[in-house]
Amino acid sequence: AQSVTQLDSQVPVFEEAPVELRCNYSSSVSVYLFWYVQYPNQGLQLLLKYLSGSTLVESINGFEAEFNKSQTSFHLRKPSVHISDTAEYFCAVSRPGGYQKVTFGTGTKLQVIP
Amino acid sequence: EAQVTQNPRYLITVTGKKLTVTCSQNMNHEYMSWYRQDPGLGLRQIYYSMNVEVTDKGDVPEGYKVSRKEKRNFPLILESPSPNQTSLYFCASSRGAGNQPQHFGDGTRLSIL
């Protein structure tokens, strides 16, 4: 079985400050990892994903996440946040091989303070 | 435009009155899922479908039914809704393999009184 833990339910941060949203997973086999973002009154959108290869993955809007197998983590970072980054962020895990269930974390609400 | 469309977006109803939430995708995806989102619990999978006429239970299937008669549609049926089914519901579709991202609808907020 696989699971995802997002330790922080809410993260307030001032505009232009750096932020890290933490995600830890548990799985006995290799994994695929995703970060999704949910803006108010919208569905989830894919932010970035790790499938294989380089452990550092980036999104088009300045977020990055690093896969750390030894620490079973996939933390999301941004060096300078904007008001528009205010949203809820979900970490998710799945596994290789045909259809595989996607397990989501409980989400972290990022509140950017002007 | 690639999209997953859910209807209705909002619904207030009463206990026991059957309701259906529709979901349609235009990406020819094989796989579709229903989730419910509750504060502090994240997204929990209700049912999923790997193709037409192939469905299976997710983590919280009690009180729900689904059908997949056409590839593009995956309706969620609450035959006798109860207040504990008050929640925000999302439909999602994907190509299915574990490395494929899911595409989500905008959600349906259900209130069961």
Write out pLDDT tens, residues A57-108.
Answer: 999 889 999 999 999 999 999 999 999 999 999 999 988 776 777 889 999 9
Q: Is B43 on the interface with A (CB under 8 A)?
A: yes
Q: B73: which strand partners?
A: B24
CB–CB of A43 and B106 under 8 A?
Answer: yes
Q: How far apart are CA B7 and CA A109, in angstroms?
A: 26
State the average pLDDT over residues B16-41. 95
Q: What is the pLDDT of residue A52?
A: 87
- The three-class DSSP label of residue B95 is coil
Q: What is the pLDDT of residue A98?
A: 67
Which burial class, exposed, middle or buried, applies to A59 when counting CB atoms under 10 A from its CB (0-12, 13-18, 19+)?
Answer: middle
Q: How far apart are CA A25 and CA A105, in angstroms?
A: 9
What CATH number is associated with residue A21?
2.60.40.10
Q: How far apart are CA B35 and CA B58, in angstroms?
A: 9
* pLDDT tens digits, one per residue of B60-84: 999 999 999 999 999 999 999 999 9
For residue B101, the 8-state DSSP code is: P
Q: Is B106 on the interface with A (CB under 8 A)?
A: yes
CB–CB of B45 and A101 under 8 A?
Answer: yes
Q: Answer whether the bond into residue B75 is a cis peptide, omega within 30°.
A: no
State the average pLDDT over residues B82-100. 90
**Which residues have a Cβ under 8 Å from the Cβ of A105 and sit 6 or more positions away?**
A4, A5, A6, A23, A90, A91, A92, B42
Q: How far apart are CA A111 and CA A71, in angstroms?
A: 27
B50: which chain A residues are within 8 Å (Cβ-Cβ)?
Answer: 99
**Looking at CA atoms only, how far is residue A19 from chain B in angstroms?**
21
How many domains does one find in chain A?
A: 1
Q: How far apart are CA A48 and CA B112, in angstroms?
A: 35
**Looking at CA atoms only, how far is residue B51 from chain A in angstroms?**
11
Q: How far apart are CA A58 and CA A50, in angstroms?
A: 9
**Looking at CA atoms only, how far is residue B9 from chain A in angstroms?**
10
Of A34, A42, A106, the CB nearest to B40: A106
CB–CB of B96 and A98 under 8 A?
Answer: yes
Q: Is B69 on the interface with A (CB under 8 A)?
A: no
**Looking at CA atoms only, how far is residue B4 from chain A in angstroms?**
10
- A1: pLDDT confidence band, cut at 50, 70 and 90? confident
User: What percent of chain B is predicted at pLDDT more than 90?
Assistant: 85
Strand pairing report for B103-104 and A73-78: unpaired
Report chain B's mean pLDDT, rounded to a whole number: 94
Q: Is A34 on the interface with B (CB under 8 A)?
A: yes
Q: How far apart are CA B48 and CA B93, in angstroms?
A: 9
Strand pairing report for A10-14 and A108-113: parallel
| Structural domain of A101 | 3-113
Strand pairing report for B108-112 and B10-13: parallel
State the average pLDDT over residues A15-41. 93
CB–CB of B41 and A49 under 8 A?
Answer: no
Of A41, A98, A104, the CB nearest to B42: A104
